[in-house]
A and B are shown apart, each in its own frame.
Chain A
Amino acid sequence: MRPLREHSIVVVEDSEEDFTAFKRALRRNGVDVSVVRFTDGEAFLHALRDDHHPRSPSLVILDLNLPALNGVEVLKELRDDERLRSIPVVVLTTSADPLDVQRCYHLGIGGYFLKEGDFAEFCGKIGSLTDYWLNAVHLP
């Protein structure tokens, strides 16, 4: 297992405020990993496919409401690409629409999280999430 320091999380999130909240939650949980952010799906996919990229992320935190290519479409692209298929993806979004939930799990995400209004609760969730993915499970 890679030491914590060597994990990297990629966050695909276009909202500045939401990203700030996420980072804060990570800090609050004492998670010290490198976080790379993309504000849109295209750029993210492009970077992944770029052979010059050091290594694939340990975990992708994907918002669904993205400009241009939306989250579900990004997921599809990931799943269709042999090289990118096994990257763990977790969705962090506002949409509680059962259809969205269904679609995402169908496309093989590792978890679907709702953005909480209550920051304390949000922190708790982020804590569970990172603990699971970065500590508990073995990553590909």
Chain B
Amino acid sequence: MLEVDLTNCDREPIHVIGHAQPHGALLVVDPKTLAVVQASASVFDHFGLVADAILGRSVLDFIPERAAEAFENAVADEDIEGNPTHLGVLALNARGPFHLVAHTFDGALILEAEPAEPRDETDYRTLPRRMLRALGDAKGSQAYYDAVVHEARVLTGFDRVMLYRFAKDGSGLVVAESAEPHLDPFLGLNYPASDIPQQARRLFALNTVRLYPDVDYRPSPMIPAANPLGDGPLDMTHCVLRGVSQMHTKYLQNMGVKASMALAIVQNDELWGLIACHHYSVRHVSYPTRAACEFLSRLVSLQVADKEAQDGSEYREGMRDRLERLTSRLYTTPDIETAFARGEETVLGLMNVGGVAVVDRDRVALLGNTPTVSQVRALVSWLALNQKEPVWSTSELRGGFAAAEEYAACAAGLMSVQVSQNSGTYLLWFLPEQVQTINWAGNPEKPVELSETSDRLSPRGSFELWQTIVAGQSRPWLDDEIAVATSLRTSLVEALVHRADEIMRLNVELQRRNADLDTFAQVAAHDLKEPLRGIRNYSQFLEEDYADKLDDEGRSQLQTITRLSSRLETLLDSLLRFARVSREDFGDVRCDLSQAVSEAQALVASALTRSSGEIVVHGTLPVVTGDLDLVIEIFVNLFTNALKYNESGAPRIDVSAEGAIVRVSDNGIGIPERHQEAVFALFKRLHGRDAYGGGTGMGLTIVKKAMERLGGGVTIESIPGEGTTFVLEFAP
């Protein structure tokens, strides 16, 4: 016989295990002749005959005469093929009574006889209704699971009943438990997939109910060992009395469990889970009770999918609602971070995750438990190169990205929504390592009776093995969650496109308005100059022609009119210049700043002489992007100001450059810091109208506007009383 250990238990051929449990007797009968061809050794205990005394004889010899015909009809029925069927309670070989279960399989008729319980107090008539009510009332899957184990325990009286559910990877989890209070709970325990090998699962799915009333049973071998009706040992796939696998027996013994029953929960022909019953002393379960258990397990098989679907749908509905609220915020907030990461309801609450990172270009916002900002940036860099689909998920990030090992505790699982690969805009959801969230209450101190071959065969051993298997992994992502993330991405992209359109529209609108404004300024300045000129001229003509008819006061008033109109004309000129600077299209030309400065110098030559000023250029000035006339205008304005706002008697202007940054420094009166922004405002002067030679307050406005048009900017450094430096940043 195959010696089974941990290395080969998945190849143990348990369906041809070759022995029966001794609490019943197993007969193999030739369907055609009804002769007994094989029997378990336990026939002696139950019928009082050794196997050899039965072999070869007709099975009818042992069945009461009045039952013979019914028996023959029943076994001829095709329905019992692979389908153990209760034939009734009857005496066999004048002993018993026995529950007789029959099925045919692989060309053999197999009869299994178990002693019938004399008295059974279970009210089997009301049982189904009671069970249906208890399970039907349960709201949500957890309440349902709890009801299932409760009903099973009431029905069977086992010390411990667990509902055990398989995950996609085959590992198991105890999701509900009803047990004697003094027992250590196994609720929340995870088992690796290898704990229940594939062949065992297959058999569970076929058998529905498996009972081992005494794990320390003495195996009752089949006699003869080989099935005369077939090839090799008897195929006991459907046998109720089939012997137990060695590994399972050892496992139960390690736990101190003496009797065990398992009820299969099957979904779509696959094992969904088990109702596992353990008892710490030998326990028989009568046939009728087992039949009720079968009813329970089939009922659960039918209902559990619905209950879980309900949970699933509640979660799904919840996510959809939250998603809707989040995406609507996209249209009213300026950016993703504000929409998703701020306020009471953030994207963290959208799904059951550990943490979320919202990455919008260079901004990273973290919510919940996440890797650090720099770790997230590194992850995004990797994703930018490797993520092929718009929505990608994994439950073991470190598998693809080794650096993720660092933070596997909080981010073993990742779902990445790539909004824009180019601009590095991502939404990242993180799931913690599964082992972090498992709270198994199993007692690590409790000594376990272990055989030498393996301490692996125990709940703790199972859990530790499971832990190593799932290390670095998160729970799997649900299809619903991936669907929600995909929806979110679509909405986000739509919102961004909408915003881009909106921005474009606003830009066009802005440009149009600017154009209108500039045209207006231009036209206004132009059209206003004409009557203005008229006023000046006529004031002058009046003065010339009628001077002798006016007294001093009259002449003075006329002069005032002239002076005021003059001022108005200067203001209009400045406005015109400003408007032209704003409006004109300069194109992509290059300008030699040395040339611009020397031409500006020439234009202010008379002012230089008048004020005894000098302009000194230090080193060479660069060639920058810009229109020459515009640049000259800038320097003319700065030079004019420098010469005007100076009390030293010897104004001096120094011009130097560092790269594309030019500094124009003077030794003038300076500009206090609190006014340094205001001086650029339209028509703003810091002094009285006629102070420092008067002025329109437009000079610096034009300088600033011109620098902006050239793609650069201007800033001020100044200490009142010491001078001012204008820092001009040109586009290189």
Q: CB < 8 Å: which of B530, B537, B569, B576 contacts A119?
A: B537
Beyond the given pairs A17-B537, A17-B538, 7 more chain A to chain B contacts, judged by CB atoms under 8 angstroms and listed by A's residue number, are A18-B530, A18-B534, A21-B533, A94-B529, A94-B533, A117-B536, A119-B541
Q: Are B541 and A24 in contact (CB under 8 A)?
A: yes
What 0/1 readout, one digit per residue, does chain A (54-75) give for beta carbons within 8 Å of chain B? 0000000000010000000000
- Distance to closest chain A CB from B636 (angstroms): 15
- Distance to closest chain A CB from B522 (angstroms): 9
- Distance to closest chain B CB from A13 (angstroms): 11
Nearest residue, chain B, Cβ from A21: B537
Q: Does A15 contact B (CB under 8 A)?
A: yes
- Distance to closest chain B CB from A128 (angstroms): 19
What 0/1 readout, one digit per residue, does chain A (1-31) give for beta carbons within 8 Å of chain B? 0000000000000010110110010000000
Question: Can you list 13 A-B pairs, Cβ within 8 angstroms, ordered by A?
Answer: A17-B533, A17-B534, A17-B537, A17-B538, A18-B533, A20-B537, A94-B533, A96-B576, A117-B532, A117-B566, A117-B569, A118-B536, A119-B541
Q: Does B540 contact A (CB under 8 A)?
A: yes
- Chain B contacts of A96 at CB under 8 A? 576
Q: Which 4 A-B pairs have the closest CB atoms?
A: A17-B534, A117-B569, A119-B540, A21-B537
- Residues of B participating in the A interface, judged by any CB pair closer than 8 Å: 526, 529-534, 536-538, 540-541, 565-566, 569, 576
- Chain B contacts of A18 at CB under 8 A? 530, 533-534
- Majority SS at the chain B contact face: helix
CA–CA, A17 to B536, complex, Å? 11
Contact A15 B530, CB 8 Å, known A117-B566, A117-B569:
yes
CA–CA, A20 to B535, complex, Å? 12
- Chain A contacts of B529 at CB under 8 A? 94, 117
The listed residue with most A CB atoms (<10 A of its CB), out of B530, B565, B566, is: B530
- Chain B contacts of A95 at CB under 8 A? 526
Nearest residue, chain A, Cβ from B529: A94
- Chain A contacts of B576 at CB under 8 A? 96
- Chain B contacts of A15 at CB under 8 A? 530, 534
- Chain B contacts of A21 at CB under 8 A? 533-534, 537, 541
Q: CB < 8 Å: which of B526, B533, B538, B541 contacts A117?
A: B533
- Chain A contacts of B540 at CB under 8 A? 119
Q: Are A94 and B526 in contact (CB under 8 A)?
A: yes
- Chain A contacts of B569 at CB under 8 A? 117
- Distance to closest chain B CB from A93 (angstroms): 10
- Distance to closest chain B CB from A53 (angstroms): 30
CA–CA, A121 to B530, complex, Å? 16
- Distance to closest chain A CB from B693 (angstroms): 18
What 0/1 readout, one digit per residue, does chain A (99-115) give for beta carbons within 8 Å of chain B? 00000000000000001
- Chain B contacts of A17 at CB under 8 A? 531, 533-534, 537-538
Q: CB < 8 Å: which of A20, A65, A119 contacts B536?
A: A119
Q: Are B536 and A94 in contact (CB under 8 A)?
A: no
CA–CA, A116 to B566, complex, Å? 11
CA–CA, A70 to B538, complex, Å? 26
CA–CA, A24 to B544, complex, Å? 11
What 0/1 readout, one digit per residue, does chain A (26-40) give for beta carbons within 8 Å of chain B? 000000000000000
- Distance to closest chain A CB from B394 (angstroms): 64
CA–CA, A20 to B207, complex, Å? 120
- Chain A contacts of B537 at CB under 8 A? 17, 20-21, 119, 122
- Distance to closest chain B CB from A82 (angstroms): 34
- Chain B contacts of A20 at CB under 8 A? 537
Q: CB < 8 Å: which of B530, B538, B566 contacts A94?
A: B530
CA–CA, A119 to B536, complex, Å? 8
CA–CA, A20 to B566, complex, Å? 19
Nearest residue, chain A, Cβ from B522: A97
Contact A115 B541, CB 8 Å, known A94-B526, A95-B526:
no
CA–CA, A20 to B536, complex, Å? 13
CA–CA, A21 to B377, complex, Å? 74
- Distance to closest chain B CB from A26 (angstroms): 14
Chain A 83-102 interface residues, beta-carbon cutoff 8 Å to B: 94-96
CA–CA, A21 to B531, complex, Å? 12
- Distance to closest chain A CB from B529 (angstroms): 6
- Distance to closest chain A CB from B111 (angstroms): 114
Nearest residue, chain B, Cβ from A25: B537
- Chain B contacts of A65 at CB under 8 A? 530
- Chain A contacts of B532 at CB under 8 A? 117
CA–CA, A117 to B540, complex, Å? 10
Contact A115 B526, CB 8 Å, known A17-B538, A24-B541:
no
The listed residue with most A CB atoms (<10 A of its CB), out of B531, B532, B536, B566, is: B536
- Chain B contacts of A94 at CB under 8 A? 526, 529-530, 533
The listed residue with most A CB atoms (<10 A of its CB), out of B537, B538, B541, B565, is: B537
- Chain A contacts of B531 at CB under 8 A? 17
Nearest residue, chain A, Cβ from B568: A117
- Distance to closest chain B CB from A101 (angstroms): 13
The listed residue with most B CB atoms (<10 A of its CB), out of A20, A115, A118, is: A118
CA–CA, A122 to B530, complex, Å? 14
- Distance to closest chain A CB from B92 (angstroms): 121
- Distance to closest chain A CB from B579 (angstroms): 11
CA–CA, A21 to B576, complex, Å? 24
- Chain A contacts of B566 at CB under 8 A? 117-118
- Chain A contacts of B538 at CB under 8 A? 17
CA–CA, A18 to B566, complex, Å? 17
CA–CA, A126 to B534, complex, Å? 17
- Distance to closest chain B CB from A118 (angstroms): 8
